[in-house]
Structure 1
Amino acid sequence: YQKAADLGSSLGINNLGYCYQNEIGTSIDKQKAFELYQKAADLGNAHGMNSLGNCYQNGIGTSIDKQKAFELYQEAADLESTYGINNLEYCYQDGIGTSVDKQKAFELYQEAADLGSTDGMNNLGDCYQNGIGTSTDKQKAFGLYQKAANLESADGIINLGYCYKNGIGISVDKQKAFELYQKAADLGN
């Protein structure tokens, strides 16, 4: 990533920041990670905007500024970054840098799912399962978890197992639930 960053690749710069944040091939340097994410965001990279938003939300290499995090997630979402959309969803759902708006969160979960994001599918499934921003629909929740699981999402597999275990949108099948939990464990979850 260092070579890509040296060549001015905004994605390489963002990924190098991730390395500094998570001690991948280098020692942890959260300030350096923050600076690299800022540079990637300044170059218009949606991943950089999302990563920088995460820094502001959680105080990584900078002080916490939830409003700034919200704004950066919005910028990334405007570029159709599913990561940005998913983080923006959480902001609306939990009131991070903005007021709580469950309906807006639901709409964003739908957008992310439509773009193929397994996180979006799982989150939209949670909305249907628990009536967040929409009416409860256990069958739709099950279908979304199944779609995410079919795309090898460990969270989708776990959620699908939970549905089989508890009869959410499908008949109880504890053996199937066990098999799904085992598959998720095999994937490292």
Structure 2
Amino acid sequence: NEQKAFELYQKAADLENITAIFNLIECYYEGIGTNIDKQKVFELYQKAANLGNSTAQYSLAWMYENGSGYKNGDIAFELTKKLAEEEYACGIYNLGYCYEVGIGTNVNEDKAFEFYQKAVDLGNINGINNLGWCYYEGIGTDINTLKCFELFQKAADLGNSYGMSSLGYCFKEGIGTNINNQKAFELYKKAADLENLIAIKNLVWCYENGIGTNVDKKKVFELYQKAAHLGSSTAQYNLAKMYESGSDVKKDMDQAIYWYQKSAEQGYKYAQKKLKQLLKE
């Protein structure tokens, strides 16, 4: 009885029970016993964060960093910095990312590398993957493709989908290893099965060009569908294009407009332009 579960979670959350707050977040995020409500998700993360929960503080920082309608780099940085000062590994990793790309602070590649390394020392798997990219691109350190490959391999072996996708890229491009398209394809597929959007994009490329597998336009369509439902604005746009043109899928203008709309709502300019053209016709 999802409705009853929701009501009980709500009651316990009102009493500031952290477990119930997180269960209620899941209800509002997935539409379990209630309607999907991203604003409520945000408010509940705020509530749990104010109660001192580090996971909620990290999630809140992520929403300020990336969330539609909540974007505020300065707040994201301050929340992340506080978590890092408390030796919270995910916070340390995210602080490295803030310094790498300049979220709420100036870009500082040396600090990015330093915090990624610290996160890795504390066992943070995403830190392992990002540290690998530092060695690949020379961010805060010298370029070292062998070290890069080793770190991606380590992250992949620990089940990290970003590590799998990054390792696939190494096999595709011959970074720290020999080119092996079959292995690249297998790793992209494994990461895509874990709903990694970067891997899904790379897997589309494999199916479009017959890299490590046969050309399969049906799989391309299915992968665009998957990524579109996961919220990728570019996949939503490409899916709309397939529906509009009727290439490798039955032409459906209602579906085309629906997915152009979804992409446009996320600020994807090509979708916004295309939507204006279609609605004028």
- TM-score in same-fold range (> 0.5): yes
Corresponding residue number in structure 1 for 2:166:
123
Q: Distance in 1 between matches of 2:229 and 2:57?
A: 32
CA offset digits 1:154-175 (Å, max 9, x no partner): 3323322221221211233333
Corresponding residue number in structure 1 for 2:32:
none
Q: Please state if 1:160 is matched with 2:203.
A: yes
CA offset digits 1:73-131 (Å, max 9, x no partner): 11112222222112111111101111111111111111111111111111110100110
Q: Identical aligned pairs, as a percentage?
A: 54
1:92 maps to amino acid: Y
TM-score (norm 2): 0.61
Aligned-partner SS, 1:73: helix
RMSD of the alignment, in Å?
Answer: 2.1
Q: 1:65 to 1:181 in 2, by over 3 A?
A: same
TM-score (norm 1): 0.87
Corresponding residue number in structure 2 for 1:20:
64
Post-superposition offset of 1:66? 0.9
CA offset digits 1:126-157 (Å, max 9, x no partner): 10011011111111111111211222323323
Structure with the greater relative contact order (CA < 8 A, sep ≥ 6): 1 or 2? 1
Which of 62, 68, 74 pairs up with 1:31? 74
1:134 maps to amino acid: T
Q: Distance in 2 between matches of 1:154 and 1:29?
A: 23
Q: 1:62 to 1:150 in 2, by over 3 A?
A: closer
Structure 2 spans left out of the alignment, 5+ residues = 1-44, 233-281
Q: Distance in 2 between matches of 1:55 and 1:154?
A: 21
Q: Give the paired residue count.
A: 188
Which of 50, 59, 64 pairs up with 1:6? 50
Q: 1:59 to 1:157 in 2, by over 3 A?
A: closer
Aligned-partner SS, 1:97: coil
Q: Distance in 1 between matches of 2:72 and 2:204?
A: 39
1:2 maps to amino acid: Q
